Structure 1
Amino acid sequence: MIRAASAALILLAGQAQALSCLAPDPLASFTNASASDMPYLVLTGDLATPSATGVTEPQPTTRTAQLTGFELTADGFTVPFDGEVLLDVTCAGPWCGALPASGPIVAFARIDGPVPVIEMSACGGWLFADPDQATLDHLTECMNGKTCSAQPLQ
């Protein structure tokens, strides 16, 4: 009887697990991209995602999207970017990322072939919708070696 109750508790505990994520933050993402062995582009602009609704995907998938905007340099978002990006939806167990709806974004695109890749993980962190000017300015400061912490922007 005790063994049966213990087994039932273990099964229930397994089913009650949930994904625990830190809140995504563009400044933390900049730090993570800078520390990566892979090169990244920091892009801002309008993302056109055909058939994307912002709904979580049921499984890993990769889709092509069009991004028209600018790449971050030491002078700010000054280099024009108009091209394809790959949206790579990944999963952590049963939890998957979502394809973003079209609109203004700031994104961290990994250079891993001829087309930049933006990972859309279950916890997010590489693409942010509707960036404000303060966020873009702070990312420029990060690019210039100034303090780049995930503290609230002032």
Structure 2
Amino acid sequence: MIRSLTSALLCLTLPTQALALSCAPWNAVSTYRAAAEAEERYVIALGSFFRTGPDQVTEQNAAGSDPYSYTAYFAGDMASRVGFRTPIEFPVQVNVTCVASWCGTPPGDGETVLAFMQVDDNRDYSLQIGACPFWAVTYPDEADVDQITTCMRSGC
């Protein structure tokens, strides 16, 4: 009886925990919409990050891991209605808020990335890396890049 009750309770709790750790498949349109509907302002760019500074631990979270940030340099092309044709280069603050083994990882130096970066009123840029790779997609395919251009041109 106790064994059956324990098994039943485990069956009820495990799927919930597993679902909490899963990420929905990345989709260019849904990420574009999330950026467009956010209070923060975003720029969308295709290019590469190059780390320029050391990790700066921000604060320890409840799981005991240490979120961190670092400075990087971004070089690439910004999205517009005509495609990714506006060359840009600027420093970016990369904020990594999830550092467990199941979390998204920041882009490596020189990897091609489709990045959705926040920009503030001072024209300071930041990239958020959380549990799911939502704001930075490494090595996006051409269809994703074309979809972002379509969204920029006529909405999604």
- Structure holding more helix per residue: 2
- Give 5+ residue unaligned stretches, structure 2: 55-64
2:132 corresponds in structure 1 to 123
Q: Shift of residue 22 of structure 1?
A: 0.6
Residue 43 of structure 2 aligns to a residue in which SS? strand
1:100 maps to amino acid: P
Q: Shift of residue 91 of structure 1?
A: 2.7
2:70 maps to amino acid: R
C-alpha root-mean-square deviation of aligned residues, in Å?
3.2
1:151 corresponds in structure 2 to none
Change (3 A) 1:41 1:20: same
Residue 62 of structure 1 aligns to a residue in which SS? strand
Matched ranges for 1:46-65 at <5 A = 46-49=48-51, 58-65=65-72
Change (3 A) 1:61 1:13: farther
Matched ranges for 1:60-139 at <5 A = 60-91=67-98, 96-102=103-109, 103-112=111-120, 113-139=122-148
Q: Shift of residue 117 of structure 1?
A: 1.1
Q: Shift of residue 97 of structure 1?
A: 3.5
2-structure distance, mates of 1:124, 1:49: 18
Residue 99 of structure 1 aligns to a residue in which SS? coil
Q: Deviations over 1:43-88 (max 9, x none)?
A: 1112223699xxxxx4311111111111111121122211111211
Aligned residues with identical type, % of pairs? 29
User: Aligned pairs, how many?
Assistant: 141
Whether the 8 Å contact between 1:87 and 1:117 is mirrored in structure 2 is yes
Residue 91 of structure 1 aligns to a residue in which SS? coil
TM-score by length of 1: 0.73
- Give 5+ residue unaligned stretches, structure 1: 53-57, 149-154
2:59 corresponds in structure 1 to none
